[in-house]
Amino acid sequence: MIPASEYLLSILATLRSSVVLLLGLFTFLPNSSNAILNNEPQKMIVPRSGTIKHTSPSEKPNVAYCNPFNLDYGYTPIPDFAKWGRHRATADPVIVNYKGDYYLFSTNQWGYWWSNDMLNWKFINRKFLRPWNNSYDELCAPAVGIIGDTMLVFGSTYTSNFTIWMSTNPKANEWKPLVDSFSIGGWDPAFFTDDDDRFYMYNGSSNRFPLYGIELDRKTLNPIGTRKEMYFLEDWRYGWQRFGEHNDNTFLDPFIEGSWMTKHNGKYYFQFGAPGTEFSGYADGVAVGDTPLGHFAAQSDPLSIKSGGFVRGAGHGSTFQDNFGNYWHISTSVISVKNTFERRISIWPAGFDRDGIMWCNTTFGDYPHFIPSPGIKAEYEQNGSSPSSQDGCC
């Protein structure tokens, strides 16, 4: 038993540390109390000396963000998930760069966001389900693709009556059906347009079956041929793919889901989520091939993983380029306070090294990161150091 005097001293020490931390925070950020209460972004420039220089209105700042992404997340519509308490949740994010703006879609939000700077996001309310779609998932794990000047959106379904929507002005919420009822459906779908304008769809979410891919006719979106197997987990080889909080495969086989395709220097990087969205070790893997429908060979380590910190997990996501040519990977994270599937969205710098290995940097993912700007380099330096600012520190 701890003596009362020692217990009291411990409490006082903890309080002292908290006070010092708060004083340091408010010293570090002038007028930060108002900024925090009003949810205003903090703007700063970090010179190479490592000291902080606060900007005046005439100076162009490097703006930072923190994970999980600060969005007006919708509340879960799933009755069983809300039994422990109503809560905000989303997952399975996709960002596409369309006409210089960023469009973000994710699960069960009854709409989507757009931004011109990846910092300030405007929500657009939109329901994509039709009267005959008997589902409360609006939409679940949507696919978002670009064909020419047209954006396409399609939600997860095992049925043959979901609509593929099209828009040339999503900022104004102008949509119309492109395919009234997409006959082959697909859960966790993803679209990919190749450099030769051929169009593909990937899908799958299972612990029994692999992920699949198929080419679609660019004009009619009818399937060309039949689905091909893309990749199935190798949990006997790669430990991170094993199911459970401790990757021990104790009560279920691992799930593979969340397809995404990125092409770089003639290679096809097929991304997938595993082993389960509710776990801290939820991650995205990547398998590399020479054609959009495989064969694919997996990189042994996960592309994105974050098993600790305030926000955990980095699976079922997508990869895109910002307006300055930098790659980013957005993915699903968990906070799991009111429900195991209480999830959020996180975003990380990504890219390809000189050997063609795809990488994603989740290091210190809960701490401030620079938002894209011309002065921010997302790639690793030749000596392997973390991404930095060209005219900033580190």
From the CB of residue 311, how many other CB atoms can be counted at a distance below 10 Å? 22
The CA-atom distances, in angstroms, between 356 and each of 235, 263, 269, 351, 359 are 24, 11, 10, 9, 9
Label residue 339 by pLDDT band (50, 70, 90): confident
- How high is the pLDDT of residue 62? 66
Residue 376, pLDDT score:
61
Alpha-carbon distance of 170 to 146, in angstroms, equals 12
What's the average model confidence in pLDDT over 293-318?
A: 93
Q: How many residues are there in the chain?
A: 394
- pLDDT of 40 reads 45
Higher-scoring residue by pLDDT: 389, 36: 389
Which superfamily does CATH assign the domain made up of 67-367 to? Glycosyl hydrolase domain; family 43 (2.115.10.20)
Lowest mean pLDDT among 49-63, 83-97, 100-114, 346-360: 49-63
Q: What is the DSSP string of 233-252?
A: --TTT-GGGSSTTTT--SSS
378 — pLDDT class (breaks 50, 70, 90): low
Nearest to 142 by CA among 197, 96, 193: 96
Q: How large is the C-alpha radius of gyration of the chain?
A: 22
Residue pointed to by tokens 């592309």: 303
Phi, psi of 26 (to 5 degrees): -75, -20
Q: Is pLDDT at 2 greater than 60 in this prediction?
A: no
In the sheet with 62-65, reading across from the earlier edge strand, the strands are 53-54, 43-45, 62-65, 369-370
Residue with more model confidence, 392 or 79: 79
pLDDT band at 37 (very low <50, low <70, confident <90, very high): very low
Longest alpha-carbon distance in the chain: 78
Sign of CA dihedral 35, 41, 44, 48: positive
* Each residue's pLDDT tens digit, 12-27: 444 444 443 443 443 3
Burial of 336 (0-12, 13-18, 19+ CB in 10 A): middle
- Mean pLDDT computed over 45-67: 50
Q: Are 208 and 225 in contact (CB under 8 A)?
A: no
Phi first, then psi: give them for residue 6, nearest 5 degrees.
-65, -40
For the chain, how far is it from start to end, CA to CA, in angstroms? 47
What pLDDT does 51 receive?
A: 31
Residue among 133, 8, 95 at smallest CA distance from 320 = 95
Mean pLDDT for the stretch of residues 279-304: 95
DSSP-derived secondary structure letter, 61: P
Q: Does the pLDDT of residue 142 top 90, yes or no?
A: yes
Q: How many percent of the chain have pLDDT more than 70? A: 79
DSSP letter for 37, please: H
Q: What is the pLDDT of residue 60?
A: 52
Of the candidates 315, 349, 192, 360, the one whose C-alpha atom is nearest the C-alpha of residue 263 is 192
Buried b vs exposed e over 93-131: b needs ≥16 C-beta within 10 Å?
Answer: bbbbebeeebbbbbbbbeebbbeeebeebebeebebbee
What would the mean pLDDT of 240-268 be, rounded to a whole number? 94
Mean pLDDT of the chain: 82
Instruction: Please give the pLDDT value at position 369.
Output: 84
